[in-house]
Amino acid sequence: MRSASSQLLTSIGNRAPRSGLTLFEVLLSLAILAAAMAAIAQLVSSGVQGSVRARLQSEAIIRCQSQLAELIAVGDPLTAVADQPFADDPAWTWSISAAETDQPGLVQLLMTVTHDPGNGFGDVSFSIPRFYRDPIAAASLSVTEPEDVTGETL
C-alpha cells in the first residue's frame, strides 16, 4: 500500500495542465484595456478641440479681412464701431477703432473680430492693424501750396 503523501504526489503529477485564464488575469487585462481606451478618448477629444479652434481661427481671419476691405471700399472706416454682430451669424462680432498717426492724413485702423458662442468653448478673437489714408485729410493736404526741398513756396 502506498502512503497518503505518495498518492497525493502522483495525482498532482498526473493532472493535465489547465487551459483558460484565471479571474485575476481577466481583470488585469480589462484594467489595461480601460486605461488605454481612456487615453485614446482624451487624445481624440483634444484633437477635436484643436480642429474646431483652427477652423474658427481661420474663419476669424477671413471675416476680419473681408469686413475691413468692405469698410475701406465704402470709404468711411473712420467711425469707431464696437461689438457689431455679423448678419449671417450673431455669435461673431466685429469692432473697429481709428487712431491718428504722426503722419498727417494717415490713420491706423484696428479691426477686431470675435467669436463667442456663450459656452466658453470656441472663444476666438483676431485683430488686424491697417494704415489708411484719410481722404478728407489727404484732400486738405493737396490743396496747400507745394514746397520745394528747401522749404520755400513755389
Please write the tens of the pLDDT for every residue from 88-131.
Answer: 988 899 999 988 888 888 888 899 999 988 776 778 999 999 98
Helices (H) and strands (E) in the chain, counts: 3, 4
Evaluate if residue 154 carries a pLDDT over 80: no
Cell matching residue 78: 473712420
Least confident of 12-26, 77-91, 122-136: 12-26
Contact 112, 94 (CB under 8 A): yes
Residue 26's H or E segment, with its range, is helix 23-74
User: What's the pLDDT score for residue 74?
Assistant: 81
The pLDDT value given to residue 138? 56
Number of domains in the chain: 1
Q: Flag whether pLDDT at 21 surpasses 80.
A: yes
pLDDT band at 134 (very low <50, low <70, confident <90, very high): confident
All three cell numbers of 71: 469698410
| Structural domain containing residue 59 | 36-142
pLDDT at 128: 92
Radius of gyration of the chain (CA): 37
6 in any annotated domain: no
Please report whether residue 119 resides in a domain. Answer: yes
Tens of pLDDT along 33-74?
A: 999 999 999 999 999 999 999 999 999 999 999 998 888 888
Split at pLDDT 50, 70, 90, the class of 20 is confident
Task: Provide the grid cell at 69.
Answer: 476691405
Asked whether the predicted pLDDT for residue 153 surpasses 70, the reply is no
The pLDDT score that the predictor gives to residue 15 is 66
> Does 29 fall in a domain?
no
Residue 101 domain-assigned?
yes
Spatial separation of the C-alpha atoms in residues 59 and 4, rounded to whole Å: 85
Is 68 within 8 Å of 130 (Cβ atoms)?
A: yes
Q: What is the pLDDT of residue 98?
A: 87
Is there a domain that residue 147 lies in? no
Is residue 10 in a domain?
A: no
What Cα–Cα distance (Å) separates residue 90 from each residue in 42, 71, 80, 114? 31, 19, 19, 10
